[in-house]
Amino acid sequence: MEQLTIVKIGGNIIDNPAELEQFIADFSKIEGYKVLVHGGGKSATKMAKSIGLVPQMIDGRRITDQPMLDVVVMIYAGEINKNIVAQLHANGTNAMGFSGADGNLIQSTKRNHPTIDYGFVGDVQKVNTSLLETLLKNEITPVFCAITHDKQGQLLNTNADTIASELAIALSEVFKVTLTYCFEKSGVLYDAEDDTSVIENINKELYDRLKTEGAIHSGMIPKLDNCFNSLSKGVHKIKIGHHKLLKDNNALCTSITL
């Protein structure tokens, strides 16, 4: 099997032009097939507040009513996605930006939770693996934002970590996939205030214990849930850490194992 690298970028890196520029330079140097998935939650929150909306989060997941959906589509699929694509081209990477609706690449269903109304939030149901394989084999690097669709005309806000995970699972049928989650920290931390307290290896047992103790919480929960789901469904390797690990194999980070 040929190698494929999927990188999800989020956190403060997207909001920091210098960090984002360095990340894109490093990502562009990755050899072989690659896919980039980006979040942008902080930018969406900033925009929402500027127009009088009150963002709501539950366990790291955004409640998305219609006004908030309008904001996240504008920020994720518009401003952030196209700026990243333009910068990738400036670094010699032939990139193309996508939402899940484009080419029916990622189809979702609106989340149906027994007690929480998440609004227009999507849970991924299907990835168009054949079209993605065609794009990759034609030396196009797909860049995904955190928007999918239900194939009935409705766009859905979808967790970017989940999108990266579902793409990795689907593409592991045809590639040997390494999934890397990059953000401003050096990995999953024992102490969120101490960037040197990296958990270098985390398995399901340790994760469950740290979650119970409250050491792992908020947005790290869906990220790690997605990691363990991906490994159980054929993804070869998963790492979480600062984007410097893209160019330094020895950089401190968290490796995920079952």
Residue numbers belonging to the annotated binding site for substrate: 40-41, 62, 157
Query: DSSP string covering the chain, please?
Result: -EEEEEEEE-THHHH-HHHHHHHHHHHHT--SEEEEEE--HHHHHHHHHHTT----EETTEE-B-HHHHHHHIIIIIIIIHHHHHHHHHHTT--EEEE-TTGGG-EEEEE---SS---BSBEEEEEE-HHHHHHHHHTT-EEEE-SEEE-SSS-EEE--HHHHHHHHHHHHTTTEEEEEEEEESSSSSBSSTT-TT-B-SEE-HHHHHHHHHHTSS-TTHHHHHHHHHHHHHTT--EEEEEEGGGGT-TTS--EEE--
What is the DSSP code string of 138-152?
TT-EEEE-SEEE-SS
Handedness of CA 107, 15, 135, 28 (dihedral sign): negative
Look up residue 53 and give its two tokens.
């909306």
Residue set of the binding site = 40-41, 62, 157
